[in-house]
Amino acid sequence: MPESYRRNSAVWSLALATLLPLVAGPAPAHAHEGEHDHPTVYAPAEHYRPTPLPDRLVLTWSDDPASSVDITYRTHPATEATICQWIEAADVFGDHRNGDIPESEEIEGTSELFESDLGECRMHSAKLRGLEPETRYAYRVGDGVNWTEWHHFTTASDEAKPFEFVYFGDAQNAVRALWSRVRREAHAEAPRAAFALHAGDLINNANTDAEWGEWHEAAGWLNGAIPTVAVPGNHEYFRRGLEPTVSDHWRPQFSFPMNGAAGLEETCYWFEYQGVRFVALDSNKRQAEQAEWLDRLLSDLPPAPWTILTFHHPIFSAAKNRDNATLRAIWKPIFDKHKVDLALTGHDHAYARSGLGGPADAENVAAGERRQEGQTVYVVSVSGPKNYQLGESWDVSRSGSGIQLYQTIRIDGDQLSYRAYRASGDLYDAFTIEKDDDGTPELIEETPPTEEIRR
């Protein structure tokens, strides 16, 4: 910088410093001399300190999506009351300018003290039951004085009807800084999504409260309006002694069905949404027990028109030098036997999507064989900024690396339409599965004619 400019700017700074208070009033407290030059990091313990106002609101289901919803949230530890008020949504509720709706119904939930690495808070849980199907409700939670805003959510139909949901691979890193935009683009693409599905590694360190704070902050009010479906990845696991244990945050902040394999409460479960069967598996442990459980479950239940699975570790890896051969050996035969349609996974920090039955491996490709047994389409995706190099060992229909993605999946009768979008909102991959009268699927490739992205 030339000396004259430096001197001039110093003169101007002095002039501005003299004039500004006259124009704009007194300078804010943080604008003292010297502080501008050395900003300090706003400490996570401050940023994510719980208050009497509820935060980290999450909607989930542990029961029928057509008649129930569960609400979990966090407050300061001294906030003992857990109150939820709800009412069928209306344009206006009368002249209640203080924000109260006296006609609303009210229930008390439960709470527990929770100790995170940043200190103590209280986790609350309220369960609404006996709701009407296909109905929009308004609700709020609080202690009777300190309330959230009134949120809207919509119950599922109790019949098979078209719907769409959004799916995310690993968010995991820079969740507030860079994942938030993916979550919000997905909402712009599918504002009436039935739910948001997260295939594990939502965060990086299982018990780091600030990372969970980032995850809740990135989704913001969406988590209070659109139910969450999630499975834990390896990064939601830690070792307590020798035992792999799911994050202490998992069960207090998510209320998932308790209908999975024994010992995997709220990490392995299933539910049905408007005729589609969803099964969440915990690929971190007890894989053989879950194979047995899944086989029994899908044998006992009447056949569903569509069965969609989600779990963290892919059956066919996308990234270089990665292969979950044991998982594939144990789980894939069950998927094939029960004609699973879609397996939505993460873990590899790259993108790969197969055709029906999965990709062919390199040897099969050389021998001219395209596909394996079964009819499952396997997807590995990533929504966060961590990037692994793509592997070359599988012949997939579409792959990519160095991109953050979100997916919308729409089911309408005998059609399932899948779209993968980049963080920019540009379409990256697409296909439709159509089933004939016998339930035999045909996959129609609709991948846009753009180059594969590999970084």
Q: Per CB under 5 A, does 201 bind Fe ion?
A: yes
CB 62 within 8 A of CB 125: no
Any idea what the Cα angle at residue 178 is, between residues 177 and 182, rounded to 5°? 135
Piece of the chain touching Fe ion by CB under 5 A; list 116-124, 283-291, 344-352, 375-383:
344-352
Strand-pair partners of 261: none
Minimum separation from the CB atom of position 266 to Fe ion (A): 19
Piece of the chain touching Fe ion by CB under 5 A; list 182-190, 219-227, 320-328, 341-349:
341-349
Piece of the chain touching Fe ion by CB under 5 A; list 71-79, 153-161, 229-237, 298-306:
229-237
Q: What is the distance between the alpha carbons of residues 231 and 201, in angstroms, rounded to a whole number?
A: 8
Instruction: Express the helix, strand and coil content of the chain in percent, nearest 5 each.
Output: 20, 30, 50
Minimum separation from the CB atom of position 249 to Fe ion (A): 17
Q: Which of 249, 332, 347, 353 binds Fe ion (CB under 5 A)?
A: 347
Give 172 or 290: the residue with its C-beta nearer to Fe ion. Answer: 172
Q: Per CB under 5 A, does 233 bind Fe ion?
A: yes
Q: Return the residue nearest Fe ion (CB atom).
A: 347
Tokens representing 373 are 């047994």
Q: Per CB under 5 A, does 234 bind Fe ion?
A: yes
Q: What is the distance between the alpha carbons of residues 402 and 413, in angstroms, rounded to a whole number?
A: 35
Minimum separation from the CB atom of position 324 to Fe ion (A): 11
Give 277 or 347: the residue with its C-beta nearer to Fe ion. Answer: 347
Closest CA to 411 of 144, 162, 84, 156: 162
Total chain residues near Fe ion (CB under 5 A)? 4
- Dump strand ranges (E) for 76-199: 83-88, 105-108, 110-116, 119-128, 136-142, 151-154, 163-168, 196-198
Give 201 or 209: the residue with its C-beta nearer to Fe ion. Answer: 201
Give 256 or 388: the residue with its C-beta nearer to Fe ion. Answer: 388
- Dump strand ranges (E) for 18-149: 55-60, 69-75, 83-88, 105-108, 110-116, 119-128, 136-142
Give 332 or 347: the residue with its C-beta nearer to Fe ion. Answer: 347
Identify the DSSP state of 122.
Answer: E
Q: Which of residues 107-166 bind Fe ion (CB under 5 A)?
A: none
> Which residues contact Fe ion (rule: CB under 5 A)?
201, 233-234, 347
